[in-house]
Structure 1
Amino acid sequence: MKSTIFFALFLVCAFTISYLPSATAQFVLDTDDDPLQNGGTYYMLPVMRGKGGGIEVDSTGKEICPLTVVQSPNELDKGIGLVFTSPLHALFIAEGYPLSIKFGSFAVITLCAGMPTEWAIVEREGLQAVKLAARDTVDGWFNIERVSREYNDYKLVFCPQQAEDNKCEDIGIQIDDDGIRRLVLSKNKPLVVQFQKFRSSTA
C-alpha cells in the first residue's frame, strides 16, 4: 500500500512541471469534439470496422476470474465504460498526460467480487499484456497520443518507469490460440481508437 501511495506521489511530482496545462495544450477529444474529462467514463472504440468492437474483460489461460483486457469480437458491442484519470490537477485530459485506466462497474460471479478493475501491464512468458492485476506488474503509466489531425483518432501507449530511452510502447491487439483479441504492448502496430461518452443503459 505504501509503495502504491509513493508511486502516485512520484507521478504527480515528476509530471507537474512538464505537463502544466497551457493555452497550447492539445486536449484529447471525444466523438462529439468535446475534451475528455479527467475522471470521466468513455467507451474506447476501434476506428477500423470489421475487426472487433469495444474493450472488455475475459478469462484466459488458467484464470478463474476475467483478468485479461480484450477487444470484443463483436463490432457492434461497445464494451465496458473506461474511466480515465490523471494525477495532474486538470479538468480535462491532454495528449501525453500520465493516466491510470480502470473499468467502470461490470457484473462478475460472486467468487470474483472485489477483483481489481485498474489496468496494468503484466509480463509473462515473454508477452506484455494488459491485465487487471495487483501483483507482478510493470511500473509505468498510460498516455493517449493523437494519430490523425483530421479526425479524432488516437492510440494508447504505455510508458515504463524504468525504460532506458524513456520510450513509450503502443497498445495493440494480439489474437491468441483461442481467438481472443488481447490488448498487449505492440511495436508500431497500435490499436487506433476513438472515445465515445459513456451512457448507462438504465439512464
Structure 2
Amino acid sequence: MKTLFLILSLLLVTITTNAEPVLDITGEPLIPGAQYYILPIFWGAGGGGLRPGKAGNSTNPVNVLKAFSDLDSGEPVKFTPVPKIGLIPTDTLLHIKFAKTPEGISSGNWITVKDLGETWTVGIGGPQDHEGYETLSGFFKIHKLGYGYKLSFVPYINTALSADIGTSIDNDRKWRLVVTNEQPYPVLFRKAVATSFGI
C-alpha cells in the first residue's frame, strides 16, 4: 500500500509540475517525516554533515553547523513539504527541522538569524532562542545542482524572494550555514537508520 501511494504521488508531481522527486544517495525518493542526514557532495576537505551547535555568542546549540570531519554525519533532519504530499519534489516549499531538539531549545525547526555581522545564518528554534538578534522565519527549498542538490531560503514575508544556502567559516572556526547569493552549498541526502514517519 505504501509503495502504491508513493507511485501515485510521483505521478501526480510529474504530471502537475516540472519538478522531479528529490532522491537520496541510493536513488530512493525522500519521504516526508523520514529522517535524513544532509551531507556534502564532496568528501574529505568538504567536511561532514549538519548538526545543531554553539557559535558566536550563543550559549545553547541554536546554530546549524557543518562538521569539519567527513566521519561525522551530523544529526538527521525531517522535511515537511507545503502542502503535505507523499514525497518531496524539487523546488517546493519545505519546513526543515532536526529530528531531535537539543535540550533547552524551543524546537528543532530551521530559521534564519542575523548574528554574523550583516550576514544571515541558519539557526533553529524561535526568536526567544536568539535574544538580541533579528530572526526571520520562512520556508526552504531543495533544488537540483549538478549531481547533487542545493538548499535555498524563502522568507514568509515575501515568498517571491529567495537566496541560496552556502557555508562560511566564522572567526571561531565554526563552519556555519549562511544565506547567500554567491556560492551555494552542494549536498546529498542519506536516510538515517532509525526513521519516524510522524510529521
Return the alpha-carbon distance in structure 2 between the equivalents of residues 182 and 133 of structure 1: 16
3-state SS of the aligned residue for 1:113? coil
| Structure 2 equivalent of residue 140 of structure 1 | 138
Q: Deviations over 1:5-63 (max 9, x none)?
A: xxxxxxxxxxxxxxx73435400011111111122210111012222100011112222
For residue 73 of structure 1, report the CA deviation from its aligned partner. Answer: 0.9
Unmatched tracts of structure 1, length 5 or more: 1-19
1:131 aligns with 2:123: yes
Unmatched tracts of structure 2, length 5 or more: 1-11, 128-133, 195-199
For residue 171 of structure 1, report the CA deviation from its aligned partner. Answer: 0.4
| Structure 2 equivalent of residue 35 of structure 1 | 29
3-state SS of the aligned residue for 1:21? helix
The question of whether the paired residues in 2 share the 8 Å contact of 1:39 and 1:86 is answered with no
Return the alpha-carbon distance in structure 2 between the equivalents of residues 61 and 90 of structure 1: 37
For residue 139 of structure 1, report the CA deviation from its aligned partner. Answer: 3.5
Return the alpha-carbon distance in structure 2 between the equivalents of residues 60 and 80 of structure 1: 17
The question of whether the paired residues in 2 share the 8 Å contact of 1:21 and 1:90 is answered with no
Q: TM-score, normalised by structure 1?
A: 0.79
For residue 87 of structure 1, report the CA deviation from its aligned partner. Answer: 2.6
1:55 aligns with 2:47: no
The question of whether the paired residues in 1 share the 8 Å contact of 2:62 and 2:105 is answered with no
The question of whether the paired residues in 1 share the 8 Å contact of 2:105 and 2:125 is answered with no
Change over 3 Å in CA distance of 1:67–1:139 after alignment to 2: closer
Q: Aligned letter for 2:126?
A: A
1:174 aligns with 2:168: yes
| Structure 2 equivalent of residue 7 of structure 1 | none
- Where in structure 2 are the equivalents of 1:102-121 lying within 5 Å? 102-105=97-100, 108=102, 112-121=103-112
The sequence identity of aligned pairs, in percent, is 31
For residue 114 of structure 1, report the CA deviation from its aligned partner. Answer: 4.8
Q: TM-score, normalised by structure 2?
A: 0.80
Q: Aligned letter for 2:153?
A: F
Q: Aligned letter for 2:135?
A: T
The question of whether the paired residues in 2 share the 8 Å contact of 1:145 and 1:156 is answered with yes
Q: Aligned letter for 1:133?
A: G
Q: Deviations over 1:68-121 (max 9, x none)?
A: 100001111100001111131310000111101000126x5xxx3353211001
Runs ≥4 residues deviating over 3 A: 112-115, 161-164
Change over 3 Å in CA distance of 1:97–1:64 after alignment to 2: same
| Structure 2 equivalent of residue 8 of structure 1 | none
The question of whether the paired residues in 1 share the 8 Å contact of 2:141 and 2:153 is answered with yes
Query: How many corresponding residue pairs?
Result: 174
The question of whether the paired residues in 1 share the 8 Å contact of 2:23 and 2:30 is answered with yes
3-state SS of the aligned residue for 2:114? strand
Change over 3 Å in CA distance of 1:39–1:77 after alignment to 2: same
1:155 aligns with 2:146: no
| Structure 1 equivalent of residue 95 of structure 2 | 100
The question of whether the paired residues in 1 share the 8 Å contact of 2:13 and 2:20 is answered with no
Of 172, 184, 187, 1:190 maps to 184
